[in-house]
Amino acid sequence: MPELPEVETVRDGLERLVVGARVRDVEVLRGYSVRRHDGGPESFADQLRGRTLTGAARRGKFLWLPLDDASALLAHLGMSGQLLVRDGADPWVHPHLRVRLHLDASPSGATALDFVDQRTFGYLAVADLLPTPDGDDVPAPVAHVARDLLDPLLAPGTPGRAAVVAAVRRRRTGIKRALLDQTVVSGVGNIYADEALWHARLHHARATDRLRPVEVARLLDAAEAVMREALAVGGTSFDALYVNVNGESGYFSRGLEVYGREGEPCRRCGTPIRRSPFMNRSAYWCPVCQPAPRGANAHP
């Protein structure tokens, strides 16, 4: 699933290539891809025709293109969603094309924005922008999502980062579960959680309310650093399902320390990496660098 660095890579591409474009027409080829839009495919298309894309924003794994009428085109990429900026005159059509926006006056000269989604867990919707207590205007379905660790208001040393540390320690759960809770801090998914925990030398089952503030702060610093490193190389691609707006893959998978490396030596101590079941997924960890808490059996 695309995580924060992948979504930010897409957002950056949209900001550079389509902000300022006008939506001339909309084709919804699969109604399920706009299932979260109130009113269905016809309403979705009607609310976009004639509108100008005025920006590109993101919170956690959600991204949206504000429109010139106090609403926004909201996108969640799900497991395999892609937003591809294309030349609409090109006769080739992606086999998993779900929605196409025909554009005029795009700064890049592109004439189409395609939503491609093989597994169909992603979706698009038009939603009203609402002010939030923390000072942003976000689409209504995103109002519950916390800021992420790349947000300047959550930078190390700020009151925002201190508030996240306190929120994590108030939870009574395992630290990885808290890190994945998008109402605490957004944008961290399974891959980057495992990588951050390895860098911070913390086991995923450590109890949040037993961690010292300095340990939580170290973990958040590690998560931010890992995501910034991934962002610098375009995110993490394991297959063709994640690409940026130009259809290019990310390269951070080449630098993963633990995720997907079961049985391979830890690059810090040489101990074979282990994998544990975790929330219908997996947790990868080093038994020496990340010792399991006393009484735990290495499972959440």
Catalytic, out of 11, 58, 61, 86: 61
Residue 2 falls in the annotated catalytic set: yes
Which amino acid belongs to residue 144? Answer: H
Is 281 among the catalytic positions? Answer: yes
| Residue-wise DSSP of the chain | ---HHHHHHHHHHHHHHTTT-EEEEEEES-GGGGTTSTTHHHHHHHHHTT-BB---EEETTEEEEEBTTSEEEEEE-TTTEEEEEE-TT-----TTEEEEEEEES-TT---EEEEEESS---EEEEEEEEE-TTS-EEEGGGTTPPPBTTSGGG-TTSHHHHHHHHHHHH--SBHHHHHH-TTTSBS--HHHHHHHHHHHT--TT-BGGGS-HHHHHHHHHHHHHHHHHHHHTT---SSTT---TTSPPP-GGGG-SSTT-TTSBPTTT-PBPEEEEETTEEEEE-TTTSPPPTT--S--
C-beta separation of 139 from 95 below 8 A: no
The active-site residue out of 49, 170, 212, 281 is 281
CB atoms within 10 A of CB 224: 24
Alpha-carbon torsion angle 123, 126, 130, 134, nearest 10: 30
Catalytically annotated residue among 3, 8, 15, 224: 3
Q: Identify whether 277 is a catalytic site residue.
A: no
The residues annotated with a catalytic role in the active site are 2-3, 61, 281
